[in-house]
Amino acid sequence: MRIGVLGGDGYCGWATALYLSARGHSVSIVDNFARRQWDHELGVQTLTPIRSLSERLKVWQELSGRTIDLYVGDCMDYDFLSAYVKSAEPESVIHFAEQRAAPYSMIDRKHAVFTQVNNVVGTLNLLFALRELQPDCHLVKLGTMGEYGTPNIDIEEGYITVEHNGRKDVLPFPKQPGSFYHLSKVHDSHNMMFACKIWKLRATDLNQGVVYGTITDETALDEALINRYDYDEVFGTVLNRFCVQAAVGHPLTVYGKGGQTRGFLDIRDTVRCVELACLNPAAPGECRVFNQFTEQFSVLEIAKLVQAAGHKMGLDVTVEQLPDPRVESEEHYYNAKHSKLIDLGLKPHLLSDSLLDSLMNIAIQYRDRIDTAMFLPQVDWRKPTNARNLKPQGVPVAVSR
């Protein structure tokens, strides 16, 4: 297939582009390198050293014999985006091209506005470009499980059957987003549903959980292809942060009681889920939703797993509970359905001792790049205007995911 990966220089996008290319698809990447600029803005860096995208693509071509086309530009620029769609004629578009961090959106007003304008307008531009130029193209959009929040009922996959006053209907599952970032994803979902309804576009909304892991078969071929390993308090994941903290003997920082429960999945499952969606497209006029995760863990459960893995490696790993800087339930019911991708053939990689060992070994390998000042939370969701002394006027427009 001809597949476009918007945000292909980012964490999920890079792994996905290589995976699809390795399987014979004709892949093109769209990016404006904003994800790299955010690191400069925040004064952080990925634990793993990332080469320039041009160098990455050159090495991939040398190793695989396959070319990935690169289009440098921005989804906020409709003229550029429509020109890309017209040139590449994608049969599927994978949309990772958004600002993807909840803490980033909660820094202050400017970061909140930037996140929502960038994400919502970029997706709207893509919907209009597909309607005008490639109406049969299948849009595979990365959503988030955070759209649902933590309701005291089971979370269905996108839709729920409701009976009220003797009548029944199938409606979008109620959304309780927990940040301005998650709100932008809810707006995206509604816009996609509306576009599919009125223009008969086809779309799959992948509500993804927390992704972990750095290694796929493709990124493991050469260090030049290595993926991101973010551990800072804005873009880092809790599992990455815990592994890096364990590697340098810092206590694992659990926010509040640690009962916050979320869905998790391996990056190897992310790329497979995307391909399954592409190979089994939605019907014209259909906006379907897949909950994309494989296991559920609380933050405290993740901390205990990392602690046990660290002890096996001879590390002295302790756990420290900090006041929660976020506005969230620290203990709650959480049971989300996630069967549709399994039904399509996904065979999950589960969080195991071997994977934890791998994550810990990478943290130890690049230990000299660890900045412990990035461990503690500095973005207070209750006081956004006093969060950090950043320079938001220099924030670029986003594409990397």
Q: What is the pLDDT of residues 132-167, one digit of tens each?
A: 999 999 999 999 999 999 999 999 999 999 999 999
Is residue 89 within 8 A of residue 47, CB to CB? The reply is: no
pLDDT tens profile 34-65: 999 999 999 999 999 999 999 999 999 999 99
Is residue 32 within 8 A of residue 395, CB to CB? The reply is: no
354-360-363 Cα angle (round to 5): 145
Kindly list the domain boundaries of the chain, sorted by start residue.
2-394
Is residue 157 within 8 A of residue 227, CB to CB? The reply is: no
Please give the pLDDT value at position 384.
Answer: 72
DSSP 83: H
Please give the pLDDT value at position 361.
Answer: 96
Q: Which residues contact 109 (CB under 8 A, 6 or more apart)?
A: 384, 385
Taking the C-alpha atoms of residue 315 and residue 296, their distance in angstroms, rounded to an integer, is 26
Which active-site residues does the annotation give?
144, 181, 185
CB atoms within 10 A of CB 113: 14
The hierarchical CATH code for the domain 2-394 is 3.40.50.720
Q: Is 128 exposed, middle or buried (0-12, 13-18, 19+ CB in 10 A)?
A: middle
pTM for the complete prediction?
A: 0.95
Please give the pLDDT value at position 385.
Answer: 58
Is residue 47 within 8 A of residue 229, CB to CB? The reply is: yes
CB atoms within 10 A of CB 1: 16
| pLDDT mean values, one per 10 residues, the chain (401 residues) | 98 98 98 97 97 98 98 98 98 98 97 98 98 98 98 98 98 98 98 98 98 96 98 97 98 98 98 98 98 98 97 96 96 98 97 89 97 95 64 39 44
Please give the pLDDT value at position 399.
Answer: 43
Please give the pLDDT value at position 164.
Answer: 98
Please give the pLDDT value at position 229.
Answer: 98
Task: State how far Cα 9 lies from the chain centre.
Answer: 13
